[in-house]
Structure 1
Amino acid sequence: MAKRVIFTDAEIATPDDFTNIGVFARADAQTLAGGAVGYPNAWARFTISQTSAIQLSINPGALFQDDVFYTSTSAMPVNLQAYLPLVSNDQKWVALLVRGAHQTDLDNRMFETDVASGATVQQQTPVADELFVQIVVQDGLPSPTPLKPSIAASDCCLAFVLLTATGIAQIVSGEGWRLKTLFEVEGRVTVLEAEFSDIEQRTSTLETDIANIAGQLKSIPRIELMRQIQTNLCNLNVAVKLPAVARAYWEDLGLFDADWDTTNASWLARIWTGVRFPWASITNNQLSLLTAGDPLLTITNKLALPAWTEKTRISVEGADGYKDISQQVHSIVTAVENTVARTSVSYGPTINVCTNAAGFAAVAGTEVGQTFTANGQTYVNDGLSSGTGSSLGAGNIIHPDINFSAWNSDPTTANHRIYAVQELQIDSWTETYWSYVTNTYGVNGSIYGQTFLNSQATIATSVDLYFTRVDATGGDVHLFLCETTATGEPNWSAALANVTVPCGTLHTGWNKFPFTPTLLDPGKLYAWFTVTVGNHALATVNDNKYAQGSLFWSTDGKWAQGDPTNDFAFRLNAASFATTRTVVNFQPLALENGMTEIKLLYGGWAPGGTSLVWEILPVGSSTWSTLIPKGDTNPLVGLPPLCQLRATFVGTTDLMPAILLDTNARAWAGRMQGSMTAPSKQQAFGYSSSSVTVVTTVDNFDGNLHTFTNKLLLASGAIVTPSVTSTAVDPNKSTRVTFTSTFALGAPQTSAAVMPCATTSTVVKVPFVQDILMFAA
């Protein structure tokens, strides 16, 4: 005790002297409690017993608050009936709080009233000053799954009690507020000291090991180099088409869905030159004219051209002799007619170039199947033959201001041209006619024909033949326009047009054989040939008057025999256009709740020196916008629900672009969803690994609008989030960001699936995954 009361013999003690005995003792006890214990709010020695379904008994204990401590000397009952939840299925947590209180105890004592007589009187007077404990119940919220009430920093919680409608269900001690005894602290310190000694020994060993490792670091390749090697190996595997076996590294360019689990319940994406956000809504209608039979167009077998008249382009006149065109052995010839190649135009603020398109070179140009699919008809560009490039002038397929990208000159894609820039993508083919969607005709009869050189680009419309004899007994005449082989022979499998003229309409003299307008490339040798069983004769000219071709016949429908001196008399007629510019309105594009993308798919051609310019007029706008990115705000940013559509044909009096308005001519309008989740299929590592790295390149990424997260999906179905993710911005393109995520799998795994996830706050600007790699350590 720092201070004590001293009494001496014969001293008359005063009441304060006796009071100080307690005051000094309490002061010393509080000094000890505050200096040695020092808990701001802690309880000690309390125990709780349940005396009934709704009542508890709190056995004696103490409360320490800094240098003051409060005690209870007897058990305190707590009745919780008033706190029981009213709904039978509800539960509730309540907290028992220990709070200190101060009171002065009073009692009756005898007081002397007269010193002389010694008379006394009984009076009530303070006899003790007490610091005691109170128990306060803090109520919680009832719920089928209740939460514990939060405790204020100034309170001390003795216990949490779970209540049901029938009474007390559980008592949980407030260990976080319990005062730990010196014995407990000593035990914990002893354990820590032992562990510290062990750590000290291990640290000494580690210092030696680290020093040895530091000496070997220069001989260890950098992780960046190893990752580059792994990336190159992934690309090489794709390029040389190595068999799919278990590997510790995997890459996907988002070109095909073979490695993506599109049937997974979490799948919310699409694969199209990258991993893209899915459609929220899309319409797919036939591309058709606003006014059927528009007089500004001439439509032949659904091929639409600006209105034209006919003029003769090649004329071989004369009647030096004749040739019976049915005198050879009748044979069955199978003519394969090629069809007009397709063009796809995609436009909108959510159209973005994916630089992984070169990945298609490894699989023979399968991109056609990705882009050109309509009404169940898929066009595959597998092994497309070399084209001349004349039918699509570079830079003029859509507009003179557009230039084709380096993709056009890639030798691995010689016949597939792609022009792609921000907000616009155009896919087209350099051959006017392709052999991947064909019509086959089997005809019987003798085969005669004529080859001819087309010196300039021509839209052929008919061939005139001079008949010197017509068999009145019958025999329709079938005429085919076809390409020739490299040796100058007719190519029966590359017919471009055909027409049948009934025998009853034939007469001696010139007879017209009209067919669907057909674009002929300049500088190419073409042929026409007839097949008939009728005893007809055609006029010929001799002495090689027409030196740019040869008369020929075939006896077996396979091989053609040429005549070096004679030619058939014929005229090749072509379209002549009255105007060099024609504007035509098409049916508008509509999508409920607005569109962010449009796509047009149609057959047709656009020869060099011509262009076909598409324009849209969104509802509410007064200005037509061409489907050409100008750098300003895209007209589809406002999510228009309706857009008028028109096309401008620009050309010359001899050449014009054309559109094939068949059922496969389509007009799409679409809008993206606001989130993307794309789980891949499980990729086997070939061994067990507990650490995986995923590197994802995300293009068109804006951190203010978008979020992106790499995740892993284990074979068990568990989803793993990365331990750490770093980002790197492409120095050549600020919107291309690489996310490198490291995953700690815990238990070793033999396989995993990547699951990139992204969100956007606006559907008019969405990111997409350009490529993704996974490496197992």
Structure 2
Amino acid sequence: MEKQVIYRDRQELQAADLENTQGWGDDALAHVISDAISSERHYTGLAVSSNSATELTIDPGRLYDGSEGHVYAIDNAQIKSVFSMLPLQDEKWLAVSVVGQENDTNLEPRDFLIDLQTREVEPQTVAMQRARVADVHIAQGLESPTPEKPEPPTGYTLIAHVRLTSSGIQEIVLAENRRLPNLQRVAGRVDVVEGWIDTAEPRIAHIQSDIAGLADSLNQRATIEQAIQLGMDMAKVKERLEIPDDYVFYGADHYLDGRETDTTQADYNAHLDEGVRFAQGATVTTQLDIDNPLDGAASLSAEGFLLPRYDERARMRLENRAGELTINQYQYQTVETVQRTMTRQHIRYGATRTVCTNGSFWRSGEYDIATGIFSKDGETFEVEDDRGRRDGPGGLTHWVRVKEFWVDEYEEAYWSQVTTSHTIQGSVLAQTFLSAQTGWHTSAEIYFTSVANDGAVTVMLTAVKNGQPDTSKVLSRATLTANGLEGGWQKIPWSRPVFIEAGKRYALVISSGGAHRVGFGEGTEYTQGLLMYAQDGDYFNEAEERDLMLRLNFAKFRSPRAAIQLKSLELAGGIHDIDMLFEGFRPAGTELAFQYRIGGEWYSVEAGTAERLGVSPALLPLRVVFTGTTDLMPGLLLTDSQVKLAQHGTEFRHYSTERSLTTPSDTIIIRTLVEDFDDDAHTLDATLVIDGATVNADNQVTEVVDRRSYWLESRFNLASPANAYTIRLDGQTNDPFKGYHVAERYDIAL
């Protein structure tokens, strides 16, 4: 109550005091109803039912009038006859409503003082109770084959509509929208809504990242105009490369690999990198490393995987326990697994990084992209079929070739080119699930109801094939010793965050020989997966309505942009060219950029900035800039990365492998495609080496293709037919920061 009457001993009591006591209490209750419950009219109880074909029963209940803050009641059930309202032949609707009224009741005789001096009293019969009563009103609609529902009079509150026919009551429709919500039921509904929010909010919050990724992916698709132009260009190429009818040998080299290059020659001196280029000068190979491991903007895993600073947030929770399973109650078996590694990114940057048109041949299937672009330290990537296709990524999703800046990325986060094999032994449980969001999965949590004294637990995150875990595609694994296990939620931190993609299925595979018990919940609607056990190399459902109790934690980044300082790059004599190869992944809609500092200003490793290296800095401060959203960022592995720093050379000498002819020839034609050639700075000579002797061309003709490309045709008329020959190319430049390249070569023996 806002106000109270104060009573004291031996104090005069007036009638107004008693009236205020109940009046102020009534006002306070009215304020509670109007302010906290509802300012409109609602009812509780007052259920309408049919007592017979022509009688309605209105149960006890109350009418809450929020406009006044009053409560009106019906204390006893009322029966209303509708016999007189029955339609003659069609149908009609009735509107049953209630309205609040105040009635004075409970008449009692009471003495009234009529003479103050003599204290004479006179009895009178008066009402001693004022009741707020809800009166029932029934409004009739019009009789019709398709009657309309009538509305109650103004100020009345509808509690039900009743449909009548000539035979009586046919249907009662309660006005549920006017029923006063019960706080307990509202609390229950709120709990359900909050539970839904807990599960749906992370997915909804991630939509922004998904939309950005989709837009970025669409922007990289070729248009129909580009496809038409490609077809026209191919028609021109076919016409230009028409081969004479009388040739005895034909050879070609696109200079994408060393299959037709002879590097054993003592004076071989060229750099083969999507074309023949000037040999590099001084070089040094190092790796990327963070400058300060305690950098507040960075999150660095034990394996050296770098992400911007993040906090862990659970995106999937299955916490309601319905039962438990003992892991080793199932068949003990040995499982061979293959763990995949994150795909690599390759960034090359320097003033002489001119664009070779033959780079598109990486997509042709003739060349092994992984070997040509992503290999390091003598790795050998094998092509699995005769068309150059491999298990995993089918091609490059991000492939940039512009002057000074080259980038290569695979579209898949994990590949099968570099793998690690493991053997696990024990009983195997697995929980599959559908990923609803894209993000970096940092750890999983499994609920152990009890743990045994021995038996390590191995947990793997795998891809799913045909609805079952695919242990040939393990993305991460962790092993927990028996001593480290405790009952309750057990966290399984991955050695580095794992990239999970929306719309793909994954599996948590648990293997152990110990009698550990894990909890499970009911229903599989949330995971859209199954709890399984392995037997004889196959998986079977323990029960279709079960899910393993688990939590899946993901990275929630603190900022949509982070700049992290890396260790500086060093090369005595100056840095001209940067070649970076590292494991990492850049999801669609995010950016990963490297920047270096010269003269107090940061420059991005991108097209149009390589001339800044013209000052030949021996020490180059370096940082990496992550741009994305608070849900999604790119990531890179610093460990085992490779950074090759080089200086530009001014000449090259390239030898082809020896060409052996089945029929001796005295006429050899060599056609060489040269790109970005400058007559004022560059020279190029094509010669033959026959039996150790150099033979110069008798005639050389240039054929201009466009402003940056021309064909150099060299014709050799030999004094006597030759059975074999080697092609030598010699190039020079008078400016180390101005390069050109030989894109391809065709040789024909007539």
Aligned letter for 2:419? T
One-letter amino acid matched to 1:739: L
Matched, 1:694 2:633: no
The equivalent of 2:175 in structure 1 is: none
- 1:287 is aligned to 288
**Residues 1:230 and 2:207 are matched in the alignment:** no
Among all aligned residue pairs of Structure 1 and Structure 2, give the percentage whose two residues are the same amino acid.
Answer: 28
Residue 449 of structure 2 aligns with an amino acid whose one-letter code is: T
1:368 is matched by which residue type in structure 2? A
Q: Following the alignment from structure 1 to structure 2, what is the Cα–Cα distance between the partners of residues 457 and 629?
A: 30
Change in 2 beyond 3 A, CA 1:741/1:643: same
Superposed displacement of residue 312, structure 1: 0.5
2:586 paired with 1:606? yes
Q: Retained in 2: the 8 A contact 1:482–1:496?
A: yes
Cα distance in structure 2, aligned partners of 1:622 and 1:523: 45
Letter in 1 for 2:585: W
Match of 1:433 among 414, 417, 435: 414
> Residue 758 in 1 paired to residue 731 in 2?
yes
What residue identity is the alignment partner of 2:271?
R
Provide the alpha-carbon RMSD of the alignment: 2.3
Q: CA deviation at 1:764?
A: 1.0
How many Å apart are 1:271 and its aligned residue?
Answer: 2.2
Count of residues in Structure 1 that have an aligned counterpart in Structure 2: 508
Kept in 1, the 8 Å contact 2:363–2:395? The answer is: no
Matched residue, 1:355: 357
Task: Report the equivalent of 1:307.
Answer: 309
Report if the CA contact (8 A) 1:367-1:381 is conserved: no
Following the alignment from structure 1 to structure 2, what is the Cα–Cα distance between the partners of residues 550 and 581?
38
Equivalent in the alignment of 2:511: 531
Q: Which of 689, 694, 700 matches 1:725?
A: 700
Change (3 A) 1:633 1:678: closer
Aligned CA distance change for structure 1 residues 718 and 627 (closer, same or farther; 3 Å): same
Match in the other structure for 2:390: 384
Give me the whole-angstrom Cα distance separating, in 2, the residues matched to 1:742 and 1:698. Answer: 17
Can you list the C-alpha shifts for 1:293-326, whole angstroms capped at 9, x where unaligned?
A: 4332121121111121111100112111112211
Partner of 1:595: 575
Distance in 1 of aligned mates of 2:543 and 2:611: 61
Contact 1:381/1:436 (<8 A) preserved? no
Corresponding residue of 2:434: 453
TM-fit CA distance, 1:373:
3.2
Q: Is the 8 A contact 1:249 1:685 kept in 2?
A: no
Aligned counterpart for 1:326 among listed residues 305, 325, 328: 328
Distance in 2 (CA, whole Å) between partners of 1:595 and 1:771 is 29
| 2:544 alignment partner in structure 1 | 564
Alignment partner of 1:642 out of 590, 609, 619: 619
* Partner SS for 2:371: helix
The two structures have a TM-score, normalised by structure 2, of 0.65
Give, in whole Å, the separation in 1 of the partners of 2:444 and 2:537: 22
The partner residue of 2:482 within 503, 506, 510 is 503
Is the Cα contact below 8 Å between 1:325 and 1:535 reproduced in 2?
Answer: yes
- 1-side partners of 2:572 and 2:481: how far apart? 51
Conserved? CA contact 1:419–1:425, under 8 Å: yes
Alignment CA distance shift 1:525-1:226 (3 Å)? closer
Query: CA 1:548 to 1:649, structure 2 compared with 1: closer, same or farther past 3 Å?
Result: same
3-state SS, counterpart of residue 281 of structure 2: strand
The equivalent position to 2:708 in structure 1, one of 712, 730, 735, is: 735
State whether residues 327 and 427 of structure 2, in contact with CA within 8 Å, keep that contact through their aligned partners in structure 1. yes
Is 1:442 the counterpart of 2:443? The answer is no
Indicate yes or no: 2:254 matched with 1:253. Answer: yes
The one-letter code of the counterpart of 1:741 is S
Matches of residues 343-492 of structure 1 in structure 2 within 5 Å?
A: 343-361=345-363, 365-379=367-381, 383-387=389-393, 414-415=395-396, 417-471=398-452, 473-485=453-465, 487-492=466-471
Task: Give the TM-score normalised by structure 1.
Answer: 0.62
Q: Could you say which structure has the larger radius of gyration?
A: 1
Unaligned runs of 5+ in 1: 1-223, 235-245, 388-412
Structure 2 counterpart of 1:501, which letter? L
Which residue of structure 2 aligns with residue 397 of structure 1?
none
Aligned to 2:600: 622
| Structure 1 position 668 matched with structure 2 position 647 | no
Whichever residue aligns with residue 511 of structure 1, its letter is Q
> What CA distance in whole angstroms lies between the structure 1 residues aligned with 2:403 and 2:688?
31
How far apart in 1 are the matches of 2:540 and 2:713? 64
Asked if the contact 2:532/2:539 (under 8 Å) is kept, the reply is no
C-alpha distance in structure 2 between counterparts of 1:584 and 1:625, whole Å: 15
Deviations 1:446-482, CA, capped at 9 Å, x for gaps: 10021111111021111111122222x2112111111
Secondary structure of 2:437 counterpart:
coil
Match of 1:518 in 2: 498
CA distance in 1, matches of 2:383, 2:349: 23
Cα deviation per residue 1:698-753 (whole Å; 9 max; x = unaligned)? 11211111011111111x2111111221112222xx12121111112112212222
Match of 2:25 in 1: none
Instruction: Quote the residue 1:540 is aligned against.
Output: 520
Q: CA deviation at 1:345?
A: 0.4
Show structure 2 runs of 5+ residues with no match. 1-236
- Aligned match of 1:174: none
Higher mean displacement: 693-702 or 670-679: 670-679
Find the residue that maps to 1:702 and give its secondary structure. Answer: coil
1:376 to partner: Cα distance: 4.0
Counterpart CA distance in 2 for 1:459 and 1:765 is: 42
Verify the 8 A CA contact 2:434 2:527 in the aligned structure 1.
no
Name the SS for the 1:229 alignment partner.
Answer: coil
What is the CA distance between 1:362 and its match in structure 2? Answer: 5.4
Aligned-pair distance for 1:225? 9.6
Does residue 658 in structure 1 map to residue 635 in structure 2? yes
Structure 1 position 270, deviation (Å): 2.9
Of the three residues 684, 691, 703, the one matched with 2:660 is 684
Residues 162-211 of structure 1: CA distance to partner in whole angstroms, max 9, x if unpaired? xxxxxxxxxxxxxxxxxxxxxxxxxxxxxxxxxxxxxxxxxxxxxxxxxx
Q: Distance in 2 between the 1:274 and 1:513 partners?
A: 48
Corresponding letter in the other structure for 2:693: A
SS at match of 1:264: coil
2:733 partner letter:
T
Residue aligning to 1:581: 561
Cα distance in 1 for residues equivalent to 2:308 and 2:240: 57
For residue 378 of structure 1, report the CA deviation from its aligned partner.
Answer: 4.8
In 2, Cα distance between the equivalents of 1:633 and 1:428? Answer: 21
Identify which range, 246-255 or 704-713, moves more after superposition: 246-255
Shift of 1:340: 1.1
